[in-house]
A and B are shown apart, each in its own frame.
Chain A
Amino acid sequence: MAEHTILVADDETHILHVLKIKLRNAGFNVIAAENGRLAYDLAVAEHPDVIITDYQMPGLSGVELMTKLRCDAATADIPAVLLTARGFSVAERDMDACGIKCVIDKPFSPREVLAVVKELLVAEPTLVGA
C-alpha cells in the first residue's frame, strides 16, 4: 500500500510549513516548492497524486503551472486545489481547463484543505501508488 504524495507550492514558506505538518501528520508524503517553476519540475519528476498550489506566485502562477502540466499526458490528470488571497476569483472555465477542482480562500482552514485532499483522492482511485 503506497502512500500518496502531495505537492505543495507557495511562495510564502510559512504556508508550506503549515501544510507539510498537517498532511504529514495525516500520513501523506509531502514535497514542497517555493515557486511555480520548481513545482513544475517536481511534478514532472515525482508525479504527485494531488497538487495544492498558491495562485499568485512570482514567475509561474498556480493556474499557469496547472495549464503547463496538462500538456504532458503523464501529469495531465493530477487534480489540484488552488489557494488564493481573498478577493481574487478564477473563472470556472479556466478551472476546468487545467484540472483545478477547488478554490480555497486564504487564510484557509488547514482542516478543510486536508478534507478536500482526501476527497480528491477518493474520487480518483486510479492514481493510487504514484
Chain B
Amino acid sequence: MLDTSFAAWSEPWSRLGVWVTLWDDKGEPVGMSDSPPALFDVLWRCSRLWRHRIAELVSQSLDDGKCLKVMDRDGAALAMCVPIACEGRPRGYIVACGLTAAFSGQSNFAHFCSLYSVDRQTCEPMAEAVSTHEATQLQIYSDIIRQQASSLADSISADQDINSLSSHLAEAYEELNLIYRVGSAMTVSRSPADQLKDVCHEVLETTGVEGVAAVLHMSAEDIGKPTVVKAGKINASDADVIRLYDHLSRFDRNAGRCVVVNDVANYSDSSNSDVGWASQWCSQVVSCELATSKHSFGGVLALNRCEGEEFGSQQAQLINTVFERSSAFLENVLLYENLEQLFMGMVHGLVSSIDAKDPYTCGHSQRVAWFGKQIAQACGMSKTESQAIYMSGLLHDIGKIGISENVLCKKGRLLEEEFAEMRRHPEIGARILNEIPQVNHLVPGVLHHHERVDGRGYPHGLAGQDIPMMGRILCLADSFDAMTTNRTYRRALPVEIAIGEIRRNAGTQFDPRLAEAFLKLDLVDLKQRSMNVTTATLIENSSHAMAAMTEGGQR
C-alpha cells in the first residue's frame, strides 16, 4: 500500500536532486526510487558510513517519534526523517536527503568522498548531475515532504477504514442472505419441527458454530415434553439440551431475549446458578427464546463457535433475528390450527342442531361422515379427498333445515306430498352451500346422496357413473347408518341383515364396486366404533380440514 504510490511521488524529487526513500515502522528500508540521483545510489550501495548515518536517523526518529533534521558535520548533505503517522502511530518513515552549497567546490567534494569512502573519480560526473540547494529551499522541500507524509497517512487510514467497513458489510450480506433464505422456506403446510430443523441448519452454516438445537413446544400441554430438534454436532442427549436451555432461560437477560455465555465452565449469573455441568459438551453458547408477544414456543441454543472464536453481539443479534421470524411463523401455525378447530367445531355444532330436531337422527350426520371417510380410505383415496368426503358427509342433510318439522318428525307414514317435501332436502342443502365458495366442492355429496345407480333416485335421476363419486359413497354410508339405527317407523336392523340388504341392492341402489369394498370391512366393529364417535374426537381429527377446504374450493 505504501510502496505502490511511492514510485509515483518519489520520481519528481529525484529530478530535483532530492533523494527520497521509504522505511517501514520497524526501521527497515522498503522503498528506493526506481531512478534515484546516481550519486545517492552509489552512496547508499557503497558507503557504510552513509548507510549507518541514515539508519541512525531513522532509529532515532523511531525512538522519539519526531521528525529530525540532521546536518552531517560539514553541512554538505542534509537529511530528514518524517514519520507517516496514522492516528498517532507511525506506519513508516520517509527519509529525504539533499545536498547544499557546502558540497560544491573541489576541496569540499574531495573531503566528502573521503569521508564516505567513495571513489572520487567515479563520483565526479554524478556530482555534476545533481543540483545543490540553498538551506531555505531545503526547508521548503521539507515542508512539502511533511505534507506528503500526512497525505499518505490519511490514505492508509482511509484504506483501513474501507477494509474494515467492507468486512462488516460482508457480514451484513451473510445475515441478509440468511434471512431471505429462511423466510422464503417457511410455509404453513410443513410441520413446525421440520421447518425449525432447516432453519437450524442454515444458522449453523452462516454463523460458524458446531451445533444448533431447538427446544419446541407448540401448545401448553407440550411444555412438559417438548420436541428437540438438532443440527450439527451436539454431544448431548435431548434431556441435557432441554435442561441447559431451562437453566439459561432463567438467567439475566441483558441483550434482549438472548443470553450469551462464552465460558460455560466458569460462568454463573447473579443468582449463582451455574451451567458448569454442561461444559463437557458445551464451551460457549448463545441462548434465544422462541416467542412472540403473545405466545412462547420454547427456545434455541447455538453451541461452540468454530475456530476458537467467541460469541459477540453480532452473532447473538443474527440468531435472535432469524429465530424471531421462526417464532412469528410458529404463531401462524398455532393460529391456523386454532382456526381449523374453531371451524370444525362450528360445523359440528350446526349439524348437531339440525340432527337434534329428530331424536332418532341424533349423531347421524357425524356417523355418516365417519363411515364415508372409512369407505374413501378403503378405496385408496388421498387424505385430502377423504377429508372432503368427511366434510360433505357432515353437511349432507343440512337441507333438512328447510323442511317443516311436521314432516321431519311425523310419527306415522308420510303422505305422498310429504315424501315430495322430504325429497327436497338435497337441493335445499346444495343451494345453501353453493352460496359459500370455499365449500362448493362439497356440494356433489350433498346434492346426490339420494341418487341410485339404476337412475331411480332423486333429485335428478342420474345413473351409474354420472353420479359423482361423493354422492355414491355417501349414499352407501347414509343407508348403512339408517338401517342400523332406530327410526320412527322401525327398530335398528342387526348388522348382518344390513350387510344382506347392501349385497341385494348392489348394482341397483349402490355402486357395486363401492359396495364390494365396503363389505370387505369389519362392519360389526365399524358400527360399534361409530357409536363412540363424539364431537370432541372428531374435532381432534380436524387437521387438514382447512387445507381440504381451501384446496378443494380452488379447484
Contact = CB atoms under 8 A, between A and B. Distances in A.
Interface of A: 14, 17-18, 20-22, 86, 105, 107-112
B179 to A, nearest CB: 9
Given A110-B173, A111-B206, A17 B165 contact: yes
Q: Which 4 pairs between the two chains have the least Cβ-Cβ distance?
A: A21-B166, A109-B177, A17-B166, A107-B176
A108 B165 contact: no
Given A109-B178, A109-B206, A20 B173 contact: no
9 contacts: A17-B162, A86-B180, A107-B173, A107-B176, A108-B177, A109-B174, A109-B178, A110-B173, A110-B174
B170 A110 contact: yes
Interface of B: 162-163, 165-167, 169-170, 173-174, 176-178, 180, 205-206
A128 B176 CA distance: 34
A110 B178 CA distance: 11
A104 to B, nearest CB: 9
Contacts of A22: 170
B173 A109 contact: yes
Contacts of A109: 173-174, 177-178, 206
Contacts of A20: 166
A18 B169 contact: yes
Contacts of B174: 109-111
> Secondary structure at chain A's binding surface: helix, strand, loop or mixed?
helix
A21 B176 contact: no
A86 B177 CA distance: 11
> Secondary structure at chain B's binding surface: helix, strand, loop or mixed?
helix
A111 B178 CA distance: 11
B446 to A, nearest CB: 44
A99 B166 CA distance: 29
Nearest to B178: A109
Given A17-B166, A86-B180, A112-B177, 5 more contacts: A14-B166, A18-B169, A107-B176, A107-B180, A108-B173
B176 A18 contact: no
A112 B163 CA distance: 20
Contacts of B163: 21
A18 B173 contact: yes
B204 to A, nearest CB: 13
A14 B177 contact: no
Given A109-B206, A111-B206, A18 B166 contact: yes
Contacts of B205: 111
Contacts of B180: 86, 105, 107
Contact of A17 (B169, B177, B206): B169
Contacts of A21: 163, 166-167, 170
Contacts of A111: 174, 205-206
A86 B166 CA distance: 22
B409 to A, nearest CB: 63
Contacts of A18: 166, 169-170, 173
Contacts of A110: 170, 173-174
B155 to A, nearest CB: 16
Contacts of B169: 14, 17-18
A18 B170 CA distance: 5
A105 to B, nearest CB: 8
